[in-house]
Structure 1
């Protein structure tokens, strides 16, 4: 798939008549409590002429004549339109808080909304305005600058968002939803970032709920929820298009068209939107050839070493010849593996297409009408994904279809289905092993290497002056080995060893014994033919290709009851109840899961929940909820939550909350069966018995004493649980400074991790076979974490803002339990930024207007990133500088944006085993034409 530019910018001829200027005055208030909405937007419909409300909600705007239509909007409130025909008309406008937002890029100021101010949980928001001005290359990367957020890049196309610790390249502890629809891969049970998500042109806002949230969002909302909200075609009709070009041969384009149709009464009754997005770029190359963290051998070992992004050169106990007296200098050897860049498709591509159709069943009620919604989305692409190994996702496809009946702030009944197709995806790590095994087995390779050394190199060394010749006449074997080691350590001998090893390696690369092949050399047709055959054959049939056509079916209904109890005008009780049902139908043909031999591993789960919020005198808000979840394979579990919010003044909110979450084991945790060559990765739905610990097996091999073997059982996997208490304060100082501080403390039980062990067989007291397993398991220890975060925004000189945030996260528990998953989170991180929005600068005679900019610096403390043994290591502290400038071309309804993420090209690892992430400079043109 090669993508070309998807944007065609249209130039429109706009004519109009001039009339006398008129100055209008008015006020914008909160309809619920009468508070002034500081910074609310007033805009002349169809123009860029607008203003914002002052500290008392008042505004003034000069227009070219009447009649006109004014648009009023504020973050977290439904937009309102008003026709103005008389300059003396009462223009006091009250906005209702029903969580419908609009895309108004002309906003010149930003304040925190009442709705967000009074949220019980920590909620970070990236709205349409912030998306426009983010200094990152796209809106999803822009999440990384928010408070409490860890954004990890495993490749250019695969970004992972985590919060509050236990960061993972398999983000199973975070839930990502788009318009309430789970965006996960049905086979993997987690979302692949925005690779299979929404087009930036259609994203209205992103709410990131930090912390345990199962009571509000269901299972797997463990450490956070990424909730994307797309644009409503009724509220945001028109044509928008975008093209982006940049470094690494980046080319990206998107187009969105939305239209609302009116009935004979002039009320919109049907609206639809169409989206198309395409992206391609040269991905970051994973070329870390340093020795794997914590391994014994370094670059200076003449027999080779285990490099991070070279696969097939890993440790094998039979490759250690330091005790072989017939092979002095041979030492420890490693096979010549294959670099990842020789095994992976780095042409990262992504195509998304979507359509949605909205029907208002009672058009005269406009926003309050019940709607029927039909939507479908398709995504495909190629990228690199990192889990236990690095995986090449090639031509992966997702299909998602939704039907929904809803009435805003009243009820919804939603059903959707997600299908996936792994396409031509494969495991490059296992591909390297397969190529080496086709050449020779490990045993045959080391035999050929050792025999050449004994027959050709050893005689040269033993005949050299100074070589010890005391055994067995005048020294024992231990002293003899010590003398040989001293002899080999001499600089003159060390200088010879690399050449000797190169000779031995060249011999071992050739076919010698019957049934062996020459080494498959990268770049040859022979290599390519073998590579294509291996990656084109299913894992279950001896290759490395995945088969995954799993599906997810989901039904969800919710009903809200407003003002169930209202003792007075300033107090009320609202209730919410809901339920959902989900069915997974895995289909991997045994390449990933235990779904062979007719075994049915379909899995269902359901949940019911209810809760209420008591608002007292517009000062106190008490909420409580309870959710019960049942999975086919696990017991009924409960997730309670409660919060208290106190608003002593209109500008300050104090909050305290208790929340909880569960995480059901994924399909992999339950049914995985994946042979990676030297071990089998095993799910654990039934429990595993009589495994031997790996250290005791090593002791047995060295000693031959069967009594040193330590046996253990692994109980069947169980869901994870977490409980969190949290407190915070949000306040606005004056009209310009906003502060948000949070502290949390979490307790985790039954972490899901892995146990390593081996199944051994004996015949007549002799070890006849051993198979290594990595088994999904729960931790035995309880773990606690805590953290603090502070965010601040300071607005000045009408158009400018300073912002910053700091996060501290700490794993309190010190344990040697090997199952505890890695915290993988920097203890300290912060962001500092400055921005200007819609600065009234007119350049080139007014051809360029509304100048804006943003500069953001992010610093991340160093930390240990623990993945698989191959991909565990230290991530050094790093800082990244992002910057962008933007300005409008009003003559052609276009905004240009020039920017760069990692402007200083500071090459950094964000995940161990992944690529170095460098600069990505880009130029974006966005065309916007609202439908008249």
Structure 2
């Protein structure tokens, strides 16, 4: 930290170099401006971009003569000679099929062409935003090769690259202007729910692979880097308005709208401000799958029915009717019975909403490239998040506030990210506790006269069954009829959705943060982050590009005991890191070497080094072939939930693995009558430590041979990855292909165990009786795999021009992994990635004057989805999106009409979510 502060103070007093200024305009062959065109100083890591009107201003300490390279996707590059200061240039770019000359920053933290990037990188810029067929720029990212988007909700989409991802994708890092966009308590990004407005985005870059060497623990499997527009370069009032409908069989046809406005103004060459507001509203995808989780062939008449999107029916018990009635064993028998549940649609308002605002001040005290920036973002949203349960996220707020100092050679930023869970609640516990608020589950030992649901059920089942059998009804038929009668009797007076009584109970439950009686989750977690980067190339006469940097982060967990074990107050801990990188070109700038190393330390674990080495070689007389290889190591620290969660999710109790967390989670459980006879207690207290040290593996219990299991405490996850690739221009064809191999060590995931409520697991007596009597509690614990996990895959993309001026692109992605499941049957990897994916695009940005169109096709192979909510097969699906657009330069407007999933074949990407239907929209965008 002291070193970072020292660097910033030194840079405050930096000597002003003699400046060379070049300005001008970048246009196409029709003299139309090319927004976002890149301007790069040849041989140096310096550059700028053209604004919406194609205008640019480039400042450098380099003295003429020198050369500038101008590039933009879809156009050939152009090299201009600069011979004097204050020179004005008009650059005409010729349209071509190449996409490799675009400038990216994320791969090496310095401007470089995609063509020469040391690792795989995808870019989505102003042109792609204009031409995307999706209803939003964020949704359009799913058309990039190697990129998947799992749809959790209309307003919550989760990006996945190279596998091992649930909706809580904490192996993927998303940065918005350098700020980690993750929700601090949830530990993952909620898509673009509270991210960046479409009007504000200048470019999006995605690195589909490990990036720990530069970005630390969060960039384990990939990184998304969003860069906003500068108010100096993009000024004026911009706005867009979209309206349309969503269509889903379960939800019907519903209105959808999205609008935004951006205002930016430079008061002088020293001071500029900008502000954004965007609002999206629509009907979320309804989740209505009633398949029985434990018995897919069962229907609602099954006494132990447990529907996938039915909640409250998880509350189940074994009723031994003979014991309850004092009858000989086998007279009536026994059965597992569950309470009657509520459909998700009874518990959730499916109105989806996202409101994003931001305000920024840019100050250049010396009227050069040194800037002081304040940036504040506030997002509020309604969505549905699927984790261990389905959570109705209501009035969720995420705030980020940043102060940054930067110029072309350095940045130093500090920011705070905080979340407020608002009125969010757990739908499963909402159903469970609405049921319990009406009628308790089991008889009250202190008041036997108080009615209970299972007591009423058994009290009606036993005489009904015996009466039917006495009348000659076969036992199986008698059982079916008796169960129906018992449920009807136990449900008499049940709270019915839509009634004032139900609504009153429901409102009370979702406002209660105690999951034994309520469903609300409370989270006001935050983190504070400081990081900096300094490129010292200019100090060594640009002999090589050398960067140094570091970061510090402090977490403050604050859920009032509803998510974390912070019942006594917030939990704080920290982590820090530092890195260095060197890039150097040899052999007439054909061979490029990149070497970097980073050291990170979390206060709970030993420090870890993350090295990366890459070589790239540009071949061919026209320098149109680039070959690259890289090797790197990365790591991922356990998340806040991995360490400190303490949550009863219904199906299991989740207990984090931090050493001082094991004794913080203390819960009370009821004991069966048989258990009470053994231990003389009606309840017992279980400490979280028991889940790690006194438990049985679930698979062994299901197999009938219970085995004790001791689960190791969690350690950081490690990855070693190798990648090779080729990028090239062959005639009209642009080719980009890559392959990778990953080996994971100490892979972080969860294990499900069963804790006996009495006895010691493995004692072969009392603990086994606890299992036999049903006196056990399921826990989910956080640990590392003892076996290595391997994954590998690759992608290839080809882009070209056909039929004269039509753009055609096709890409294919392959992904596979290997894991010894027989040896570790209770370990879930959550690979959750199709083996094969094919994507294609076809369009023309100028079919005729000012008119363009684009069509996107996606096919995804079937795959197995594995997550805490539920596991299962996801079938293959095909999606077709399309849009047409018309530009009206006189009013600086673009009109667009489009639709996603035009084929209308509804699909899902995870077990338990609503089917994704179709969206049809029209939009009007105004840019100055």
Q: How would you bin the TM-score normalised by the shorter chain?
A: 0.7 to 0.9
Corresponding residue for 1:278? Answer: 279
Corresponding residue for 1:100? Answer: none
Which deviations, in whole Å up to 9, do the C-alpha atoms of 1:737-788 show, x marking residues without a partner?
Answer: 1011111000001111122224434489574964432111111111001001
Corresponding residue for 1:291? Answer: 292
Do the aligned partners of 1:752 and 1:820 also contact (CA within 8 Å) in 2? no
Structure 2 gaps, min length 5: 1-28, 57-68, 81-86, 103-112, 246-253, 323-327, 443-451, 663-688, 760-764
Alignment of 1:821-860 (within 5 A): 821-841=829-849, 850-860=850-860
State the distance in 2 between where 1:317 and 1:206 align.
Answer: 51
- Structure 1 residue 312: Cα displacement: 1.9
1:532 pairs with 2:507? yes
State the distance in 1 between where 2:311 and 2:600 align.
Answer: 42
Do the aligned partners of 2:697 and 2:706 also contact (CA within 8 Å) in 1? no
Corresponding residue for 1:779? Answer: 785
- Compare CA radii of gyration and give the structure with the larger one: 1
1:653 pairs with 2:626? yes
Corresponding residue for 1:522? Answer: 497
Q: Secondary structure at the match of 1:612?
A: strand
Q: Secondary structure at the match of 2:813?
A: strand
1:336 pairs with 2:324? no
Do the aligned partners of 2:321 and 2:462 also contact (CA within 8 Å) in 1? no
- Structure 1 residue 911: Cα displacement: 1.2
CA separation of 1:108 and 1:524: change in aligned 2, threshold 3 A: farther
Structure 1 gaps, min length 5: 1-21, 48-70, 83-88, 96-105, 263-267, 468-483, 511-517, 703-707, 842-849
1:673 pairs with 2:674? no
CA separation of 1:546 and 1:770: change in aligned 2, threshold 3 A: same
State the distance in 2 between where 1:759 and 1:168 align.
Answer: 26
Do the aligned partners of 2:199 and 2:261 also contact (CA within 8 Å) in 1? yes
Q: Secondary structure at the match of 2:423?
A: coil
Which deviations, in whole Å up to 9, do the C-alpha atoms of 1:885-932 show, x marking residues without a partner?
Answer: 000123322111100110121111111100000101111110112xxx
State the distance in 1 between where 2:33 and 2:551 align.
Answer: 46
Which deviations, in whole Å up to 9, do the C-alpha atoms of 1:516-561 show, x marking residues without a partner?
Answer: xx42221111111111111001136842111111111111111002
Q: Secondary structure at the match of 1:435?
A: helix
State the distance in 2 between where 1:525 and 1:301 align.
Answer: 28
State the distance in 1 between where 2:828 and 2:142 align.
Answer: 26
Q: Pick from 553, 570, 574: which aligns with 2:528?
A: 553
Do the aligned partners of 1:564 and 1:575 also contact (CA within 8 Å) in 2? no
Q: Secondary structure at the match of 2:506?
A: helix
Corresponding residue for 2:351? Answer: 347
Q: Pick from 713, 726, 748: which aligns with 1:752?
A: 748
State the distance in 2 between where 1:615 and 1:110 align.
Answer: 23
Which deviations, in whole Å up to 9, do the C-alpha atoms of 1:272-322 show, x marking residues without a partner?
Answer: 111011111111111111222x63652275436221100122373515889
State the distance in 2 between where 1:460 and 1:397 align.
Answer: 58
Q: Pick from 459, 464, 482: which aligns with 1:451?
A: 459
1:326 pairs with 2:326? no
CA separation of 1:358 and 1:109: change in aligned 2, threshold 3 A: farther
Deviates further, 713-722 or 636-645: 713-722
Alignment of 1:222-241 (within 5 A): 222-241=220-239
State the distance in 2 between where 1:533 and 1:560 align.
Answer: 56
- Structure 1 residue 170: Cα displacement: 0.5
1:611 pairs with 2:608? no
Corresponding residue for 2:251? Answer: none
Q: Secondary structure at the match of 1:172?
A: coil
State the distance in 2 between where 1:136 and 1:785 align.
Answer: 30
- Structure 1 residue 73: Cα displacement: 6.1
Corresponding residue for 1:693? Answer: 696
- Structure 1 residue 184: Cα displacement: 0.8
Q: Secondary structure at the match of 2:270?
A: strand
Corresponding residue for 1:904? Answer: 903
1:880 pairs with 2:879? yes
Do the aligned partners of 1:690 and 1:759 also contact (CA within 8 Å) in 2? no
Alignment of 1:162-241 (within 5 A): 162-241=160-239
State the distance in 2 between where 1:442 and 1:661 align.
Answer: 49
State the distance in 1 between where 2:53 and 2:394 align.
Answer: 48
CA separation of 1:776 and 1:182: change in aligned 2, threshold 3 A: same
State the distance in 2 between where 1:277 and 1:799 align.
Answer: 35
Q: Secondary structure at the match of 1:891?
A: helix
Q: Pick from 719, 723, 728: which aligns with 1:722?
A: 719
Size of the aligned set, in residue pairs, is 799
Corresponding residue for 2:61? Answer: none
Corresponding residue for 2:151? Answer: 153
- Structure 1 residue 93: Cα displacement: 5.4
Corresponding residue for 1:438? Answer: 437
Q: Pick from 131, 134, 138: which aligns with 2:132?
A: 134
State the distance in 1 between where 2:243 and 2:419 align.
Answer: 29
Corresponding residue for 1:7? Answer: none
- Structure 1 residue 452: Cα displacement: 1.9
Q: Secondary structure at the match of 1:154?
A: strand
1:741 pairs with 2:737? yes
**Superposition RMSD on alpha carbons, in Å?**
3.4
State the distance in 2 between where 1:30 and 1:670 align.
Answer: 46
Which deviations, in whole Å up to 9, do the C-alpha atoms of 1:171-225 show, x marking residues without a partner?
Answer: 1000000111111111112111110100011011110001111002111101100
TM-score, length-normalised on structure 2? 0.80
State the distance in 1 between where 2:809 and 2:263 align.
Answer: 34
State the distance in 1 between where 2:280 and 2:96 align.
Answer: 31
Corresponding residue for 2:595? Answer: 624
